[in-house]
Amino acid sequence: MIRLLKTPFGWCGIVFDADIIREIILPAPDKRKILERLRHHGSKTPNAKFRPGHHVTEVLNNLKRYFNGEKVDFNTPARYITTLIWSSKFERSVYKTLMAIPYGRVQSYQWVAQKAGRPKASRAVGNALAKNPLPIIIPCHRVIKSDGSLGGFSAIGGTTLKEKLLKLEKAL
């Protein structure tokens, strides 16, 4: 199922099944861009009749709060984000490392690579971040280059959105 969420940053998309979160599409001002990104899931429109389970509802509420500038702890149990089973062992290690970066803080790609057990794999960290199915819950926007510049960001809006998220968290 798909839910669209209106935020101050634009429309956000969430893909879920019952109480399992599959993917989060970060906000874009144009709802059609979000729907385009979601087409590969087989649905073109959200299903308002389908009620998400407790954990999905909690994530939706936390995303609303987050985009309204509240500090939110996304402590979603792993069993509700099974999308990660499709990730490689290294990607899961990267995602686990990202979840340890506190709200309002940033770390470098190199730092993440070291913590994930592959100190020379900064580029591989960037590739894992580009595949991150659950941005914000797995805060890939908190990873920047060692020189302090933003690096890349694969969401709609690119590094402009990354910068807005970091400013929202007062990390820049």
Burial zone of 58 (CB within 10 Å; 0-12 exposed, 13-18 middle, 19+ buried): middle
Q: Single out the catalytic residue among 140, 156, 165, 168.
A: 140
Contact 171, 142 (CB under 8 A): yes
91 CA to centre of own chain: 14
Question: Whose structure tokens read 């669209």?
Answer: 4
Question: Whose structure tokens read 């998309």?
Answer: 13
Number of Cβ within 10 Å of residue 164's Cβ equals 17
Contact 110, 48 (CB under 8 A): no
Cβ within 8 Å of residue 131, ≥6 positions away: 87, 91
12 carries an active-site annotation: no
Residue 135 is given by DSSP the state B
Contact 169, 103 (CB under 8 A): yes
Catalytic residue IDs? 140
